[in-house]
Amino acid sequence: LQYPTVYKARKSLFQEQVKYAELTKTRTEAELKRDIRTVYYQLAYLQERQLLYQRLDTLYSQLADAAALRARTGESTGLEKIAAEARLRELRAQQQQIGREVAVQQQTLMQLLNAPESLLPTEGSLQKLPLNATSDRSNHPILLLQRQNVNLATADIYLQKQGLKPDFSGRAFTQRLYGISPAFSGFSVSVGVPIAGKSFRQKIKVAQIGSAVQQKQLEYQTLWLNTAAASAQQELEKNNAALQFYETTGLAQADEITRAATAAYRAGEISFADLAQYLAQAADIRQNYLDNLNQYNQAAIQLYFLNNQ
């Protein structure tokens, strides 16, 4: 039999290992939630880009038909028709590229959800994510797991110290000797004292160093968590400032530019080159809005994760 505190120390270590496994599961769940949100809103963003290119495709198809008609009636050269068709082919190539990006994100989402079929967000899913002012960073799964590493190291130190304790052994016997009756019975008890104390002390020292390393790692991860949350908050505020322009005036101006420029071209008031420039400006405004909205949402998702939400 080992010294009683050895069993106690070993039991304590096993209990800490069980807690570590449970906290590992909690951290994995938090990371999985973050990854699913990231892919879902990336898919919603790509869908909105597809819709934007589809609207531009319809518009340029109409303009290409109008340019072809003007060329047939002699109102313009064939250059406008060629330019419109070139832009149309470019838009369709961009749509195909986005379609491939959507397929990649769908595969990732299937893997994260363990789903047998590809999924897509519902129409209109790309919305500005709300923010919760509260946070529970002190109980974040990353920190809880690292604190458990510290607990494991402490339990290991205690277990290693038990190596200096003595062992106990005992035996009972019955022996019949030749020519002697009755049988001879007895028992013995012995105590085993470790003589290689230096090696046990080295193991204790190694365990103590490991504990100090885990404590430093806890301090580092606490600092990293707070710094990353502050960076995500700054990214959020930066993109929110840009979104306010697009939401209040930018998108409305893009619609007005498209409407006025298209009407002016059909009335013969501007050239196709002028029209293309105006439409490109309006498309850039809409694209920049989608990009900023996606960046805002991705920063919000990261902040959700860091704030343990």
| Contact (Cβ atoms closer than 8 angstroms) between residue 269 and residue 75 | no
Q: In the chain, count of helices (H) and strands (E)?
A: 6, 2
| Contact (Cβ atoms closer than 8 angstroms) between residue 105 and residue 42 | yes
What tokens were used for 171?
């035996």
176-227 confidence digits (pLDDT tens) = 776 667 777 787 888 877 776 677 788 888 889 999 999 999 999 999 999 9
Has this prediction a pTM greater than 0.75? yes
Is residue 99 scored above 80 in pLDDT?
A: yes
Task: Give bridge partners of residue 172 from the DSSP assignment.
Answer: 187
Which pLDDT does position 197 carry in this prediction?
64
118-149 confidence digits (pLDDT tens) = 888 887 778 889 887 777 888 999 999 999 99
Using alpha carbons, select from 115, 97, 105 the residue that is nearest to residue 44.
Answer: 105
Residue 282's Cβ-count burial label (10 Å; 0-12, 13-18, 19+) is: buried
CB proximity list for 143: less than 8 A, separation 6 or greater = 137, 218, 221, 222, 225
H/E stretch holding 173: strand 167-175
| Contact (Cβ atoms closer than 8 angstroms) between residue 52 and residue 25 | no
